[in-house]
Structure 1
Amino acid sequence: MSIDSARALAAKVLTDEVLEKQIQDTKTEAEFDDVVAKWGYSCSVAEFMAAFKEAQAKQPISDEELDHAAGGITLVGIDYPFVMTPIVP
């Protein structure tokens, strides 16, 4: 049951910035347990981390992330080939 709770918590963290910040601010496992219990979930740190990685992998890639991954360059308004002419002294 706690793995189901971990998956639900991971999905919530991906959409709730307040919860994400509270979890990031935890320094010990006890603090993590307190925050998780306050939000109504019950799971260990290891279960949450595994579920969070799984949830992140299922997230679609944003257009900005895709642009960075593509590695291309877009020059708006340029519709002719770039030609470089060497300068010889």
Structure 2
Amino acid sequence: MSLVISDDLVRASGFSENELFLEIVLMLFRQDKISLGKASELVGLHRMQFQNCWQIEISVSIMMSLSFKMTLILYRMRISCDHSK
């Protein structure tokens, strides 16, 4: 099954096509409608990448533009900050 979302709706959302797709996947994941594995597969990330991004709540626009390496750096920075408190 395919779902077509009009260009008007994409523009009205304020998201790019990729950001809107990710937002939909995240919504389905948060509501336990799809598994971690399915969500990560749909957005094209390894499960750990998706889980790390979701757990540290990177915004949609940042998550779509970061490489795995940058995601890992941010995750490590958060851990370092948490341990220094």
Both proteins in one fold, TM over 0.5: no
Instruction: State TM-score, norm by structure 1.
Output: 0.28
Q: Which structure carries more helix by proportion?
A: 2
Instruction: State TM-score, norm by structure 2.
Output: 0.28
